[in-house]
Amino acid sequence: MASKVRLYVDHPLGEGQSVPLSRDQAHYLFGVMRLAEGTRLSLINGRDGEWDAAVAKAGKKGGILQCLQQTAPLQMPPDLWLMFAPIRKERTAFIVEKAVEMGVARVCPVQTDYTQSANRIRQDKLQAHAVEAAEQCGGTFVPPVDDLAKLDSMLADWPADRQLMFCDEVLIGDPVGLPDIDGPWAILIGPEGGFSPAERDQLRGLSFAHPVSLGPRILRADTAAVAALTVWQQALGDWA
Ligand code: SAH
């Protein structure tokens, strides 16, 4: 038997709730996945947990799903932001996908001194990747993906109590050095060119920023994002 479809809908989920489908969703469920009336599927909306649902009406341009019962409560990730400098399109999409699988509360693309201006992001596309990743990994929460923000401005406007895991390539080969501090955190990953000396100076002067090493080799930014998330989740997050 084919595995059960898991679909994100931007609609409240609750017992007996009918969920109308958009044209695209109907095309996907009935055209691509070939679901028939009565077929069961799982729904998430990022707020109400996971629900078992059945196809009540299947049409070419629309349809209706009926919520039956909750199968999992909303499970929030730790209060962790992933800040990273956009790289090439597919690799940026990879970072967003992996961030959702690894468990983050927010994804923040940041412009740093050495971020290539050609690496533009499409926030809506990245948000759609986050939704797909949540559907696929069994998650019930979809982290918001921000528009590109300047690293400077984010640091200037930094929330009290949030720690920053500053992944600094000059510490290559040092012990990781992640301090054992509970509470909200953010991870910061630089672009292919790394951080500028000015950025490094600025970051080193901030009491909430903790420079961290990711081992004895230089990792590509996309690898570094996954490695940093692993280290953080293992030490301070919901893997422990
Ligand atoms: N061009 C730089 C490397 C940039 S790697 C150089 O040659 O030094 C891209 C980003 O990944 C870095 O800015 C950093 O945030 C992270 N990173 C990669 N390897 C790392 C390591 N061994 N330790 C800490 N951070 C690392």
Residue type, 237: G
For residue 170, report the distance from its CA to the centre of ligand 1, in Å.
7
How many Å apart are CA 50 and CA 44, to the nearest integer?
Answer: 5
Mean pLDDT along residues 149-167: 97
Model confidence at 240, pLDDT cuts 50, 70, 90, reads: confident
pLDDT of 142: 98
How many percent of the chain have pLDDT more than 90? 96
For residue 167, report the distance from its CA to the centre of ligand 1, in Å.
7
Q: Do 24 and 53 form a contact (C-beta atoms < 8 A)? A: no
The mean pLDDT of the chain is 96
Residue 199 has pLDDT above 70, yes or no: yes
How many Å apart are CA 194 and CA 181, to the nearest integer?
Answer: 26
How many Å apart are CA 37 and CA 232, to the nearest integer?
Answer: 44
For the CA of 214, the nearest atom of ligand 1: 23
Residue 36 has pLDDT above 90, yes or no: yes
Pocket of ligand 1 (CB under 6 A): 167-169, 171-172, 189-190, 192-195, 213-215, 218-219, 221, 224
pLDDT of 13: 98
Model confidence at 197, pLDDT cuts 50, 70, 90, reads: very high
pLDDT of 2: 57
**Using CA of residue 33, residue 39, residue 40, residue 46, what is the dihedral sign?**
positive
How many Å apart are CA 135 and CA 43, to the nearest integer?
Answer: 9
User: Ligand 1 pocket: which of 119, 165, 203, 218 to mutate (most atoms <8 Å of CB)?
Assistant: 218
Residue 131 has pLDDT above 70, yes or no: yes
Residue 119 has pLDDT above 90, yes or no: no
How many percent of the chain have pLDDT more than 70? 99
How many Å apart are CA 79 and CA 14, to the nearest integer?
Answer: 26
Q: Do 25 and 33 form a contact (C-beta atoms < 8 A)? A: no
Whole-structure pTM value: 0.95
What is the 8-class DSSP label of residue 32? I
Residue 3 has pLDDT above 90, yes or no: no
Mean pLDDT along residues 84-113: 97
Residue 178 has pLDDT above 80, yes or no: yes
For the CA of 172, the nearest atom of ligand 1: 22
Give, using CA atoms, the residue closest to atom 9 of ligand 1: 221
How many Å apart are CA 30 and CA 63, to the nearest integer?
Answer: 9
H or E segment at 82?
Answer: strand 80-84
- Which position has the token pair 């990743």? 133
Mean pLDDT along residues 11-17: 97
Closest CA to 236 of 74, 76, 80, 75: 80
- Which position has the token pair 């009918």? 18
For residue 103, report the distance from its CA to the centre of ligand 1, in Å.
22
What pairs with residue 21 in β-bridges?
63
What is the 8-class DSSP label of residue 38? T
Residue 145 has pLDDT above 70, yes or no: yes
H or E segment at 162?
Answer: none
Residue 87 has pLDDT above 90, yes or no: yes
Mean pLDDT along residues 137-146: 97
Strand 50-58, strand 80-84: pairing: unpaired
Model confidence at 117, pLDDT cuts 50, 70, 90, reads: confident
For residue 201, report the distance from its CA to the centre of ligand 1, in Å.
16
Model confidence at 7, pLDDT cuts 50, 70, 90, reads: very high
Residue 130 has pLDDT above 60, yes or no: yes
For residue 231, report the distance from its CA to the centre of ligand 1, in Å.
15
